[in-house]
Structure 1
Amino acid sequence: MSDAVNCEYCVNYSYDDDYECYTCEVNLDEDEMVKFITGNFNQCPYFKMGDEYRIVRKQM
Structure 2
Amino acid sequence: MKEKTNCNCCINYIFDEEYNCYGCQVDLDEDEMVRFMGKSYDNCPYFQFNDEYKIVRKQK
In which range does the TM-score fall when normalised by the shorter chain?
Answer: 0.7 to 0.9
Q: Which runs of 4+ in 1 moved over 2 A?
A: 54-60
**Which residue in 2 is equivalent to 1:48?**
48
Compute the RMSD of aligned alpha carbons. 1.5
**Within 1, Cα distance between the matches of 2:34 and 2:50?**
23
Moved more, 36-45 or 1-10: 1-10
> What count of residue pairs does the alignment treat as equivalent?
60
Q: TM-score, normalised by structure 2?
A: 0.86
**Which residue in 1 is equivalent to 2:24?**
24
**Within 2, Cα distance between the matches of 1:23 and 1:33?**
11
**Within 2, Cα distance between the matches of 1:48 and 1:10?**
5
**Which residue in 2 is equivalent to 1:33?**
33
Q: Please list every run of 5 or more consecutive structure 1 residues that lacks an aligned counterpart in the other structure.
A: none
The CA deviation at 1:53 is 1.4
Q: Please list every run of 5 or more consecutive structure 2 residues that lacks an aligned counterpart in the other structure.
A: none
Q: TM-score, normalised by structure 1?
A: 0.86
